[in-house]
Amino acid sequence: MAISPQVEVVGLRDLSRFLNRIDDGLAKELRPTLLDAARPIADEAKANAPRGETGKLADSVTVRATQRSATVKVGSKARVPYARPVHWGWPNRNITAQPFLFDAVEHRANEVRARLADGIFDLLARAQR
């Protein structure tokens, strides 16, 4: 099983419950906050993805979020099945790893944390009004 680099937010579930108790609409604002926080990783991964003739690999970078998590995904089994071998490499096929997504997480983790903190503080400030 592959290791996934993460920016983990301890207490996000509790924050969601707290915001739900105050105002259901406010808890729903966690999703756009998480989307905004994860976007720098997606932007850098997209910019640094290896580009072939079609650019499908870079175009396949997506950000998804719920009220409790955000995920940056690359590739799909149908359209871009080669995303994993490109990222992880495949020595038997002479494919060198190009970990553009992991590099993006490493480079942008502090920005993600800052965006997330700003967004959460904004939500908490709105909860106090």
pLDDT tens-digit map of 30-75: 899 999 999 999 999 999 999 988 999 999 999 999 888 899 999 9
What's the alpha-carbon Rg for the chain, to the nearest Å? 17
Is there a domain that residue 5 lies in?
A: no
| pTM confidence score | 0.84
Q: Is residue 1 situated within a structural domain? A: no
Q: How many structural domains is the chain composed of? A: 1
Domain contains 99: yes
H or E segment and range at residue 65 = strand 62-65
Beta bridge partners of 73: 62
Task: pLDDT band for 1, please (50, 70, 90 cuts).
Answer: very low
**Which residue range is the domain that position 20 belongs to?**
12-128
Give every CB contact of residue 97 below 8 A, 6+ residues apart in sequence: 87, 88, 89
Provide the 3-class DSSP secondary structure of residue 117: helix
